[in-house]
Structure 1
Amino acid sequence: MIALKDILYKVTLDTVVGSTGINIGAIDFDSRNIENGDLFVAIRGSVVDGHDFIDKAIKNGAVGVVCEALPENLVDGITYVEVDNSSKALAFMGANYYNAPSENLKLVGVTGTNGKTTVASLLYQLFKKAGYKVGLLSTVRIMVDNTEYKATHTTPDSLTINKYLKDMNDVGVEFCFMEVSSHGIHQYRTEGLHFEGGIFTNLSHDHLDYHKTFAEYRDVKKKFFDGLSKKAFALVNIDDKNGLVMLQNTKARKLTYALKDYADYKAQILENQFSGLLLKVNDSEVWTRLIGSFNAYNVLAIYATAELLGLERVEILRLVSELDNVSGRFQYFVSDGVTTIIDYAHTPDALKNVLETINSIRTKNEELITVVGCGGDRDKTKRPKMGHIASALSTKVIFTSDNPRSEVPEEILKDIEKGVEPQNYKKTLTIVDRKQAIKAACQLAEPNDIILIAGKGHETYQEIKGERFDFDDYKIAQELLKQIQK
């Protein structure tokens, strides 16, 4: 139990009805989870408004309600707290309820369009190899040192974040690496957290269904850096023109990394093969099993962050050479001479990076067969761009379903096809069923050919009309290639 007044520390209060001296059992923003003695926080979501469930929360046992608008009929004995923004208030309350867990470890946030998962996951891996207890909050998984939990969002809600951080405190975690999405920043999920540093990877076309304009998307990312303290570091990729934008108003120590521009941390690609990269990082050479120029940026961000967090340069280089690929990020296998690559690339820029990387490595005597689609109920403006890039940079393309969600898959595919230029029409096929599309790619492939299956990466499901069906690109491709070879 904790006093409501202690939970409300740092929360800006508009109106209070009742006593803030009452004790609270738990906090929740889902009325169905409320039990006797709990605090209910009414949040206005994009689909559901928590204010509509205040009565239900009280009926279930809530003794306090935090909301943006007081109900017309107030119930005797219930404490009501009116705030300007319930989501922002929840973030501070979550930190207070769990005793400010982010202050008891070194928390680093990673934001950007592409590379968040790779950078956060590889930093977790590197610091584990260095012998530390480490936490990870990512799209792929949540790790409390050695204990794994399933991830449901890129950036979980603020209560969940603080709960996992408290769990990390309990087992002595020293460092935590966290993906910070634009949705998470915009919805105040990271408010009230104490960050040791922030990393900016890059910014390209994504989430414009949510943010409406690129400028808004960029400015939301910038808000994360604006909130960093003087004691924190802000590490940004300045080969991306938005890197310097992130640094404009931050109070944090400003540091840069780049492959092309002058920067605090600089890398040069010496060799780029399917077996890995040979890089020159500042004045030292390092071999890594990661592949492609986009991963050169990721390795550079990891190297810089590890140094900023106090690891020795020589040790960092040794550990970088031991890092393994992240699930669904340029993950590949070779079967009967056919190289199959699974990658999460679901934005135009990410797809372009992966295809350009493959083209820079292959000899051009083999086919590059790409299987790709676009998710439903998401930014429609990127679809023709994905079609254009895939058809321009591959020798054959099969357009197929990704996660169509509530949309008609055929309509999504029509949007993608609009981006194909006339000279590339003959390269393309459209197969709605994703398994059949992968099967077709496997049947088309000859020894030495390359298949890229893009868009879903680590995901092990397909979402169609509100249902999730088991679907793992990696496993399906392996099974189909074995069948075809028989």
Structure 2
Amino acid sequence: MKQLKDLLFGVSISAVSGSTAIAVGDLCFDSRKVGEGDVFIAIKGVEADGHRFVDGATRKGAKAVVCETMPETLNDGVTYVQVSDSQQALAIMASNFYGNPSKNLRLVGVTGTNGKTTVSTLLYHLFKTAGYKVGLISTIRIMVDDTEYETNLTTPDALTINRHLSLMNQDGVEFCFMEVSSHGIAQRRAEGLRFEGAVFTNLTHDHLDYHKTFAAYRDTKKKLFDGLPKTAFALTNSDDKNGLVMIQNTQARKYTYALKTYGDFRAQILEQQLDGQLLKIEEHEVWTKLIGAFNAYNVLAIYATASLLGLESMEILQGISQLRNVDGRFQHFVSKKRITAIVDYAHTPDALKNVLTTINALRTGNENVITVVGCGGDRDKSKRPVMGHIASQMSNTALFTSDNPRSENPGVIIREMEAGVEAQNLRKIVSIEDRRQAIRTACKLANPGDIILIAGKGHETYQEVNGVRKAFDDYKIVREELEKQEANA
């Protein structure tokens, strides 16, 4: 049992009813999980307001309540703590609850629209290869050295983060690499964490359904750097027009990386093939299995971060040469009939353009590019016509289909994508709501040498329709369809 007053250390408190010198159990922000003696933190969420469940939490045995608005009726024997921001309070209390585990790690946060998963995951693998105990908190998984934990949020809630950081402390983990999303920053999930460094990859059109404006989206990302201590480093992509904005107010040591402009760390693409590319980083050449200019930036960010954390250049380059693509990030195979299938998480206009630019740069001229793409439901609608335009403009054939339609009508989403297609490209598009049927059609259209891109879902192994998730793996399905068709040919 822990003292409530100790858990509240560092929290901005407006008012208190009752004593904070009491022993309490767990922290909960879901009233359904409250147990006897726990602390319930009432969060005002996007879909529900936790303040509505305060009475229910106290009936279930909550000994303390942290809230932004005091209830009209205060129960005897319950301590009520009013704060200005419950999400911030939860994060600070979670850190205190687990003994501030980030202070015992060399924690690096990675943020940006694209590249977060690749950079953080491959840094994890690089440092593992170098012989260190390493942690990872990413979209795909949480790793406590060799132990894997599943996750479905880019930046998990503050309790989940600190619980796993605590497990890393127990396991002797030295380094941890963590994706930090704009949602996670806006919802204060990373408050109370001590970062040794932060990395900015890029900023493009995304999440405007949540942030409303691009400026708000940008400024949310920037908060990660604004909060860094003087002892930390801030590494930014200076080729991105928002790169220097990210670090303009940080107290941390500032570093830049670039392919096109000046940077403290620089790289050049010397050669590209479908199985990798040759890069020149500083004065050294290195072959990497990661393909495309966007991955050249990712590799350079990895190199720079590892350098700033103290690894030697040759050790880093040797590790980079062994890195492989992250699941669902330009993950590809070549069928028996020489049809190349690529699965990529590209779900933003910029990511889709980057992948198709890479594919087109690798073509010898005779191959057709067949793109299967959709847009997620209940998300930023303004990017749908842009995605439709890019896919139809940069592919020989574009099949518009469902992504995760969630509560939206998939046909409506597809029509919004079609609205971005220019007249001369209308003949190149085919709209098929059923995603498996769209992938099957792409396989039927492909001839030897052609390239099929399945974009949007990447590593996801499900499709969400009307609140129900069903098993769906793009990579597995395109492989099955090509093998089936080639066996019957």
Structure 2 unaligned regions, length at least 5 = none
Give 1:355 shift: 0.1
Residue deviations 1:90-122 (CA, integer Å, cap 9, x gap): 110000000000000000000000000000000
The within-5 A match list for 1:279-428 is 279-335=279-335, 336-428=337-429
1:477 aligns with 2:478: yes
Give 1:237 shift: 0.2
The within-5 A match list for 1:156-167 is 156-167=156-167
Q: Which residue of 2 aligns with 1:231?
A: 231
1:218 aligns with 2:218: yes
TM-score w.r.t. length of structure 2: 0.99
Give 1:473 shift: 0.3
> Secondary structure of 1:321's partner?
helix
Q: Which residue of 2 aligns with 1:39?
A: 39
Q: Which residue of 2 aligns with 1:468?
A: 469
| Partners of 1:299 and 1:262 in 2: CA distance | 17
- What one-letter code is carried by the residue in structure 2 that aligns with 1:460? T
| Partners of 1:282 and 1:184 in 2: CA distance | 34
Give 1:364 shift: 1.7
Q: Which residue of 2 aligns with 1:240?
A: 240
Q: Which residue of 2 aligns with 1:198?
A: 198
Residue deviations 1:230-274 (CA, integer Å, cap 9, x gap): 000000001001000001100000000000001000000001111
| Partners of 2:212 and 2:327 in 1: CA distance | 30
| Partners of 1:152 and 1:436 in 2: CA distance | 26
| Partners of 1:465 and 1:34 in 2: CA distance | 29
Residue deviations 1:69-104 (CA, integer Å, cap 9, x gap): 111110011111000000001110000000000000
| Partners of 2:20 and 2:426 in 1: CA distance | 67
- What one-letter code is carried by the residue in structure 2 that aligns with 1:161? I
Q: Which residue of 2 aligns with 1:453?
A: 454
The within-5 A match list for 1:139-154 is 139-154=139-154
Q: How many residue pairs end up in the alignment?
A: 486
Residue deviations 1:114-136 (CA, integer Å, cap 9, x gap): 00000000000100000111100
Give 1:324 shift: 1.1
Give 1:287 shift: 0.5
Give 1:480 shift: 0.5
Give 1:46 shift: 0.9
Q: Which residue of 1 aligns with 2:66?
A: 66
| Partners of 1:270 and 1:152 in 2: CA distance | 37
Give 1:54 shift: 0.6
> Secondary structure of 2:135's partner?
strand
Q: Which residue of 2 aligns with 1:177?
A: 177
| Partners of 1:196 and 1:459 in 2: CA distance | 30
| Partners of 2:361 and 2:24 in 1: CA distance | 59
- What one-letter code is carried by the residue in structure 2 that aligns with 1:196? E
CA RMSD of aligned residues (A): 0.5
Give 1:152 shift: 1.6
| Partners of 1:372 and 1:228 in 2: CA distance | 38
Give 1:427 shift: 0.7
Give 1:191 shift: 0.6
| Partners of 1:333 and 1:457 in 2: CA distance | 14
1:94 aligns with 2:79: no
1:277 aligns with 2:288: no
| Partners of 1:256 and 1:272 in 2: CA distance | 24
TM-score w.r.t. length of structure 1: 1.00
Give 1:49 shift: 0.6
| Partners of 1:134 and 1:279 in 2: CA distance | 26
- What one-letter code is carried by the residue in structure 1 that aligns with 2:85? N
- What one-letter code is carried by the residue in structure 2 that aligns with 1:178? M
> Secondary structure of 1:315's partner?
helix
| Partners of 1:224 and 1:462 in 2: CA distance | 31
| Partners of 1:156 and 1:212 in 2: CA distance | 22
| Partners of 1:341 and 1:152 in 2: CA distance | 23
> Secondary structure of 2:120's partner?
helix
Residue deviations 1:204-245 (CA, integer Å, cap 9, x gap): 000000000000000000111000000000000010010000
| Partners of 1:14 and 1:425 in 2: CA distance | 59
1:131 aligns with 2:150: no
| Partners of 1:475 and 1:364 in 2: CA distance | 28
